[in-house]
Amino acid sequence: DARLAPVAVPAPRRPPETADGRRQKARAELGVVERPLLVTAGRLEAMAGHGPLLDAARRWRLLDPRPLLVVAGEGPDRAVLQHRIDIEGLPVRLLGRREDVPQLLSAADVAVLSSRWEARSLLAQEALHAGVPLVATAVGGVPELVGEAAELVPYGDPEALAEAVTGLLADPVRRVELAEAGRVRTAGWPTEDDTVAHVLSVYDELVQTFLREGVDGPGR
């Protein structure tokens, strides 16, 4: 008997300072006070779709001001990605493993998810919780997860990805709309308490079934 339990990502805990203060501090640390900041996070491997993402970043070089894409995460593709960033002069910075992704997202103008496949993407959930406009590939469970609260593009289409991000950077009204849609969307997601309650109810149901069928417990 297999059951699916709702997976909850807790809303980010806010440190004791203003949202604008957190945002400006994070942006200053990244050196992007006067330019757009794009954030993505995840393991540096083929499944994450960083190849098409760097192809899109090549198009962003032409923008003024030129956005900076920061990538939080580690993985086997780091050296290859860094080599390409250096050779092509891409506006991309690999940050390595970070424990403060929610804080990075709070500083972002746009979050980007370029994966080849995702179930319930942690990055997508964190971005919507944070009220950050999200551009994501329409793969796996992402469309069902985000609904109308993100701009969706096909996987492996750098032009569509670049245009979606560029369009959001040029449209502050649309960014506000997506941020609000994200908050509304997350309000309907299961909480941590919902997940625990669901698991406990399934456990209780199984125990009662065993008792009714006369199944002895462990050690008897």
Same-domain status, 130 and 198: no
In a domain, 6, yes or no: no
In a domain, 40, yes or no: yes
Same-domain status, 151 and 219: no
Overall number of domains in the chain: 2
pLDDT for the residue 46:
95
Boundaries of domain holding 198 = 192-220
In a domain, 34, yes or no: yes
CATH at residue 63: 3.40.50.2000
In a domain, 97, yes or no: yes
Same-domain status, 165 and 132: yes
Residue pLDDT tens, the chain, 220 long: 555 455 555 555 554 455 678 788 889 999 898 899 999 999 999 999 999 999 999 999 989 999 999 999 999 999 999 999 999 999 999 999 999 999 999 999 999 999 999 998 999 999 999 999 999 999 999 999 999 999 999 999 999 999 999 999 999 999 999 999 999 999 976 655 545 554 666 667 666 777 777 655 554 3
In a domain, 8, yes or no: no
Same-domain status, 145 and 59: yes
Same-domain status, 72 and 151: yes
Same-domain status, 67 and 127: yes
Same-domain status, 114 and 199: no
In a domain, 11, yes or no: no
pLDDT for the residue 64:
93
**3 state DSSP class of 27:** helix
Q: What is the value of pTM for the model shown?
A: 0.81
In a domain, 12, yes or no: no
Name the residue among 142, 168, 171 with its Cα closest to residue 154. 142
Site of tokens 């993100």: 150
Same-domain status, 153 and 182: yes
Same-domain status, 34 and 128: yes
Buried b (16+ CB within 10 A) or exposed e, 162-193: bbbbbebbeeeeebeebbebbeebbeebeeee
Same-domain status, 176 and 201: no
In a domain, 50, yes or no: yes
Distance CA 88, CA 99 (A): 29
Same-domain status, 54 and 121: yes
Q: Please compute, for residue 2, the number of CA atoms within 13 A of its CA located in the half-sphere on the CB side.
A: 0
**3 state DSSP class of 70:** strand
Same-domain status, 150 and 210: no
**Dihedrals φ, ψ of 120, to 5°?**
-110, 85
